[in-house]
Amino acid sequence: MRTSNPILRTLERNEVYEGTGEVASYGGIVLKTGLLLGSAVLSGFLFLYALTNGLIAPTAVIPILIGSIILALISVIVSTRSVRLAAPFAIIYALAEGIFLGLITVIFDAYAPGVALAAVIATAAIFTVMLFLYSSRTIRVTPRFRRIMYGVLLGILLFAVLSLVLSLFNVNIAFGSPIILLISGVFIVYGALMLTLDFDRAEAIVEGGMDRSYEWMVAVGLMVTIVWIYVELLRFLAIIANSRR
């Protein structure tokens, strides 16, 4: 039977997948999301350990960082498009993302001590609040809400591409601290609202009786959003710390 849920329709078009015979569960999604986050933390720790103990030359940091970003981008695309490859590429994404997160965390925390811990706590708080708002149906994910969210995301991506193109011609878009703080705050709010789309996707997969392998796709989506919020919080808190100096 065909479903009217747009998320399940997308998954049905994804590919014909025989599956494992076990249906997805919320516990499985939580477990896989935790595994990805733990893999990222471990990857970042090992990278920083190798760097501080001379196992990685300082000159290799930039190439490794660029390589990890490219690998993470490829992996997240594959893991959210192919249920057959979701599990291995989800792990690869987490490990590659961990290198990036570990490096920027150290940089931001060195610039403004304490912001890393504050960002972790704030990210957990935002996740908890949004989960409560979604589960209590205070925020409802409707087709119109999805269109608005994806439209805003397209605008953010276009802005990022425009900034990159202009920088190639030595034209930098410079904003004062208040404007940067406002933009970062908007990005945090957007990331928080994106969590509701992830929750909606998880609910659609579980309630729709999808195969257990789809849990990896939801876990990757959750991790991408969590990373987005964490990075923006790091920047937001660093700007505030700088303005107080």
Q: Give the model confidence (pLDDT) of 168-218 as tens digits.
A: 666 555 555 677 788 888 889 999 999 999 999 999 999 888 889 899 999
Q: Which residue range is the domain that position 103 belongs to?
A: 22-243
Is residue 22 within 8 A of residue 212, CB to CB? The reply is yes
78 torsion bin: left (phi>0), alpha (psi -120 to 50), beta (else)? alpha
Per the domain annotation, does 195 fall within a domain? yes
Q: Is residue 13 part of a domain?
A: no
| Predicted local confidence at residue 58, as pLDDT | 84
Phi, psi of 23 (to 5 degrees): -90, 155
Tell whether the model's pLDDT for residue 9 goes beyond 60.
no
At residue 20, what are phi and psi to the nearest 5 degrees?
A: -95, -10
Q: Whole-model pTM? A: 0.85
The amino acid sitting at 41 is: V
- Tell me the per-residue pLDDT of 112-155, one tens digit each, with 9 for 90 and over: 888 999 999 999 999 999 999 999 989 888 889 888 888 888 88
142, 151, 215 from 182: Cα distances, Å: 27, 19, 35
Q: Residue 97 has what pLDDT? A: 94
Neighbour count for residue 101 (Cβ, 10 Å)? 24
Tokens for 136? 């209590």
| 21, 209 Cβ separation under 8 angstroms | no
Amino acid letter, residue 152: V
Task: Evaluate whether residue 16 is within a structural domain.
Answer: no
Tell me whether residue 96 is in a domain. Answer: yes
pLDDT tens-digit map of 58-86: 888 889 989 999 999 999 999 988 888 99
Residue 6 lies in a domain: no
Query: DSSP 3-state assignment of 36?
Result: helix
pLDDT at residue 146, as a whole number: 87
Give me the residue label for tokens 């994910």: 141
In a domain, 10, yes or no: no
How far apart, in whole angstroms, are the C-alpha atoms of residue 127 and residue 229?
9
CA 129 – CA 191 distance, rounded (Å): 13
Q: How many domains does the chain have?
A: 1
62: Cβ contacts below 8 Å, ≥ 6 apart:
none
Report the C-alpha gap between 96 and 78 in whole angstroms.
14
